[in-house]
Amino acid sequence: MVAAQRIVSFLPSATEMACALGLGDRLMGITHECDYPPEVKSKRTVVHSSLPIETMTQPEIDAAVSARMRQGLSLYQVDEAAVREIAPDIILTQDLCQVCAPSGNEVSQLLKRLPNQPRILWQTPKTIGEIFDAMRELGEATGCEAAASTLIRDGRARLDQIAAKTSGLQRPRVFCMEWMDPIFCCGHWVPEMVRIAGGQDDLGREGSDSVRVSWDEVRRAAPDVVIVMPCGFDLEKTAAESARLSSYEGWRDLPAVRSGRVYAVDANSYFARPGPRVVEGTELLAHLIHPTRFAWNGPPAYRALHDRFEPATAL
């Protein structure tokens, strides 16, 4: 099989993965959400959002997304003319979450109209192991098997090191909040990250979709640590939106709030995208869950929120 030379990515995590494998020079088209590594921002954007997410509140986003999905409308606009001009020999996409990227039906319709049929590499991981499998498959499709093997080996070693250090520790109750209004628990690979990092998220759905949970369920779970990680949000937007949580009845009665262990995190970088940085995300979780045992030496990625629920100093 000839290694792919002209790559289009419909998925931010796939863009990150391609660059981690040294394929940045072959990446010809990306989405409007692709922002890492920073140099990809100069690439041609071939996927745009159908909604003005940047100016919408969380309830507005939830309502608009739900309405479009009920109507069978896409959340994304693919620039078909740009894709035709690029003439990719491989398109990286997913069929896991219609909110995250163009989904299978949209890609299938696009393929019917392209004069040359590129290979479609479906990246739909639900676990950390499947994220590594996606890396390996991309490496094989692009002639970068050795780079993929190294990336996977190093990532697994770092995760194993965390798991070994947390194996004998007490596991605090953790609640990872993937959306604030309405409240969603975490799903897919995130509960696994929490487990490796030495925590226990009883509301999380390991290997499954995140779902709405009631505020009463959160109160009954009585989390010792709350980590706010809205899908699609960076650190600054998460911290700014977090103030709404104090309006929930009994918020200040949560053990996490009483002990000052509520954190806003950079979800886009470390949790929402099934790419190489889930390893760093697990290291970040280990620090937040067991701060005396694990240091965080990465860039600013979280913000502790004090009991008045205003952003404290970024760390």
CA distance 247 to 270: 27
CA distance 155 to 174: 23
Q: CATH homologous superfamily for 7-148?
A: Nitrogenase molybdenum iron protein domain (3.40.50.1980)
315 confidence band (pLDDT: 50, 70, 90)? very low
| Tens-place pLDDT, residues 249-301 | 999 999 999 999 999 999 999 999 999 999 999 999 999 999 999 999 999 99
Q: Tell me whether domains 7-148 and 171-314 share a fold.
A: yes
CA dihedral 243, 246, 251, 253 (to 10 degrees): 100
* Closest to 135 measured CA to CA, from 151, 114, 111: 151
| Choice among 94-98, 129-133, 153-157, 256-260 with the minimum mean pLDDT | 94-98
The amino acid at 291: P
pTM over the 0.85 mark: yes
Strands 44-49, 27-31: pairing kind: parallel
Q: Look at residue 218 and give its three-state secondary structure.
A: helix
Q: What is the CATH code of the structural domain delimited by 171-314? A: 3.40.50.1980
* Banded pLDDT at 72 (limits 50, 70, 90): low
User: 187's torsion region: left (phi>0), alpha (psi -120 to 50) or beta?
Assistant: beta
Res 307: pLDDT: 45
Cis peptide before 52 (omega within 30 of 0): no
Residues 6 or more apart whose CB falls under 8 angstroms from that of 284 comprise: 265, 270, 296, 298, 301, 302
Cα–Cα distance measured from residue 222 to residue 206, given in angstroms and rounded to the nearest whole number: 19
Nearest to 38 by CA among 66, 15, 61, 68: 15
pLDDT at 6 over 50: yes
The structural domains of the chain, with segments of one domain joined by +, span 7-148, 171-314
Name 45's bridge partners. 30
CA distances from 134 to 85, 122, 123, 156 (A): 27, 8, 6, 14
